[in-house]
């Protein structure tokens, strides 16, 4: 059975999420989308701003995403999947005050939804002019960038080249492996945000291994940092899987995103791992010709204990 792809659109207040959503819906792609808009407050507004012909809009109010959105998403998505005429995709726009983690986890933890949908990508829209202000206001803007598979630096016409370079450096400091695109009024080729297969373990194996290269570790004043753990030795698969699952169980609230590609001792297979908070997936896959025979694991999270993580990773090496 073909699974329905899901794209999560996130970004701080006013960054241009709804503009991007409208752009997706009005392009002549011939696809039929369901749109789920998570609102902050009792009265829905964003749904009224979304235009589209052959789409359906569903709103989840009281946008405290940490408390309510997972239950709302399970209810709404389950209803969509029971409809006789399937959708070509589902677009979820989160409130600008949201940590996208619970929305991401929804598509892994609910058995029915996980069996019938595939999370395609988390797309974060960044306001190039207001990013510093968003950072100063709270932690949400940084966490939205940390979760992203694609970052759209929007409103680039309002910032000079030096300012754009500074914004992109900040994005890269938080998230070293997201694809980065510039836009004005979210005018971006839809191939940049749709059909990314960013959560596919096979895609992680096939993508440019540079996203896991060493050197990507940075600290931030609010405790969010990224850490790259590497070794030229293979990993012992049972030890590594036990360690990463224990790590997710004990520290998952502070682990925003993590990915890994690890050589295995037999030389014929690699282990691929990805996780969001407490949800972790691993798989063994045949090594491709020319694939590097090393082990790489990248984490983005809050208050990462670098020494303990390095010790734990090293203990899993064969």
One domain for residues 208 and 120: no
One domain for residues 194 and 242: no
pLDDT at 239 over 50: yes
- Assign 150 a pLDDT band (cuts: 50, 70, 90): very high
One domain for residues 157 and 26: yes
User: Domain boundary at 199, 223, 254, which?
Assistant: 199
Out of 46-60, 69-83, 84-98, 169-183, give the one with best mean pLDDT: 169-183
One domain for residues 150 and 285: no
For residue 95 the two structure tokens come to 């409130």
One domain for residues 166 and 103: yes
Read off the CATH number of the domain in which 131 is found: 3.40.50.300
User: Domain boundary at 199, 221, 251, which?
Assistant: 199
CA distances, 173 to each of 48, 169, 178, 258, 312 (Å)? 36, 6, 11, 15, 24
User: Domain boundary at 169, 199, 229, which?
Assistant: 199
One domain for residues 179 and 83: yes
Q: What's the pLDDT tens digit per position in 13-57?
A: 889 988 898 888 888 888 888 888 765 433 333 444 444 434 455
Read off the CATH number of the domain in which 221 is found: 3.30.1220.10
For residue 101 the two structure tokens come to 């983690």
One domain for residues 242 and 299: yes
pLDDT at 213 over 70: no
pLDDT at position 76, please?
84
- Assign 208 a pLDDT band (cuts: 50, 70, 90): very low
One domain for residues 207 and 74: no
One domain for residues 79 and 226: no
One domain for residues 118 and 184: yes
pLDDT at position 220, please?
41
pLDDT at position 43, please?
34
One domain for residues 39 and 188: yes
User: Would you say 100 and 144 are in contact if contact means Cβ atoms under 8 Å apart?
Assistant: yes
Count: domains in the chain: 2
One domain for residues 158 and 246: no
Residues 6 or more apart whose Cβ sits within 8 Å of residue 242: none
pLDDT at position 60, please?
52
User: Would you say 228 and 217 are in contact if contact means Cβ atoms under 8 Å apart?
Assistant: yes
Across the chain, mean pLDDT equals 81
- Domain enclosing residue 225, as ranges: 202-315
């Amino acid at each position: 059975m073909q699974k329905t792809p899901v794209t999560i659109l996130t970004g701080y207040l006013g960054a241009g999420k709804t503009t991007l959503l409208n752009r997706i819906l009005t392009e002549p792609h011939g696809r039929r989308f369901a749109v789920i808009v998570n609102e902050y407050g009792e009265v829905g507004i964003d749904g009224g701003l979304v235009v589209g012909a052959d789409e359906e809009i569903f709103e989840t109010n009281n946008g405290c995403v940490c408390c309510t959105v997972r239950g709302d998403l399970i209810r709404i998505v389950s209803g969509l999947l029971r409809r006789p005429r399937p959708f070509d995709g589902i677009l979820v726009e989160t409130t600008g005050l949201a940590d996208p983690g619970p929305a991401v986890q929804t598509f892994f933890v609910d058995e029915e939804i996980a069996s019938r949908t595939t999370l395609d990508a988390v797309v974060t829209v960044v306001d190039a002019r207001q990013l510093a202000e968003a950072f100063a206001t709270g932690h949400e803007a940084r966490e939205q960038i940390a979760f992203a598979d694609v970052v759209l630096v929007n409103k680039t016409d309002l910032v000079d080249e030096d300012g754009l370079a500074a914004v992109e450096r900040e994005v890269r400091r938080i998230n070293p492996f997201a694809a980065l695109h510039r836009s004005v009024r979210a005018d971006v080729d839809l191939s940049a945000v749709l059909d990314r297969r960013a959560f596919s373990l096979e895609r992680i194996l096939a993508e440019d291994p540079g996203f896991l290269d060493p050197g990507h570790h940075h600290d931030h004043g609010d405790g969010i940092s990224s850490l790259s753990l590497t070794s030229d030795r293979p990993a012992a698969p049972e030890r590594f899987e036990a360690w990463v699952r224990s790590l997710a169980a004990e520290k998952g609230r502070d682990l925003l995103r993590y990915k890994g590609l690890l050589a295995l001792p037999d030389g014929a297979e690699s282990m691929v791992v990805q996780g969001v908070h407490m949800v972790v997936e691993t798989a063994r896959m045949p090594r491709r010709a020319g694939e590097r025979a090393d082990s790489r694991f990248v984490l983005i999270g809050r208050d990462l204990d670098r020494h303990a993580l390095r010790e734990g990773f090293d203990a899993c090496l064969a």
